[in-house]
Amino acid sequence: MTLSETTVGELNELAGRYPQARSALLPMLHLVQSAEGNVTNEGIEVCAAILGISAAEVSGVATFYTMYKRRPMGEHHVGVCTNTLCAVMGGDLIFERLKGHLDVGNDETTEDGMVTLEHIECNAACDFAPVMTVNWEFFDNQTPESAVDLVDRLRAGETVQATRGATITSWRAAERVIAGYEDGLVDEGPTAAGASLAGLRIAKERGWTAPPVGASTGGASTSSTSEGASTGETSEGSKAGAAAEADTSRAETETVIEQSPANTAKEGSDD
């Protein structure tokens, strides 16, 4: 058995955090990765035994989510967003440059074991496109040149600071944090910047503030609130009425679609 007693103990501790132990499977798999470098067969068996489920069920989860790796990972995971906006802003060029520079393909690791390169889906950071991640920490507004410099610094063992986040440690260390064990770096580095804060800056300049919790926001909401108050209707009743109205509207829309000329023509065709 290669999993240490400490790791097995932590896996049991994670399972005990949830009313239903099976809910701990996702963080448990991240913990296995932090200890083993990937989700191993042994890790799957141990998780299954602790949770009282089959190894096949654990394996199904481990092979469904792309953050779980069945092959050994490098010291650092470098992800390049190639989703729509990042791609057109230069993400595709960055990914191609890094593949050539590192001499690896997608989801492959460099010969020195330092970098695993992967193209990844949207990181919800479109205002900083194109973005990369290192061990899930953000690196914003990248170029092919800055990306090459970044991976070279990682391979040289230099200290690297995320654009919005902590100092880079390692992929395994990051996996341990995702599993639920803090590393003390949660407050290190900025978490928001640039365009993400533009709305807040404008609001401060113009003296705008959010309405108090529970206050009317005007428009249709105001009329609904007023009507409810005048008839003695509770807020829960108003919510129920709004939900019923939404259901009715959706049903009417579906009826229109079903009765559309396009659908009628389709039903009468032989195709």
pLDDT digits (tens, 9 = 90+) for 41-94: 999 999 999 999 999 999 999 999 999 999 999 999 999 999 999 999 999 999
CA distance 26 to 218: 43
pLDDT at 160: 96
Please check the confidence at residue 227 and state whether its pLDDT lies above 70: no
Identify the bridge partners of residue 108 per DSSP, sorted by sequence position.
117
Mean pLDDT for 203-220 is 80
Digit-coded pLDDT (tens) for 143-200: 999 999 999 999 999 999 999 889 999 999 999 999 999 988 888 877 777 777 888 8
Q: 224: helix, coil or strand?
A: helix
CA–centroid distance for 2 within its chain: 30
Higher pLDDT among residues 98 and 125, named by residue: 98
Element (H, E) at 84: helix 84-86
Q: Exposure string (b/e) for 86-99, b if CB count within 10 Å is 16 or more?
A: bbebbbebbbebbb
Q: How many alpha carbons fall within 13 Å on the CB side of residue 112?
A: 11
| pTM value surpassing 0.75 | no
Mean pLDDT for 243-263 is 54
Higher pLDDT among residues 236 and 130, named by residue: 130
**Averaged pLDDT score across all residues of the chain:** 85
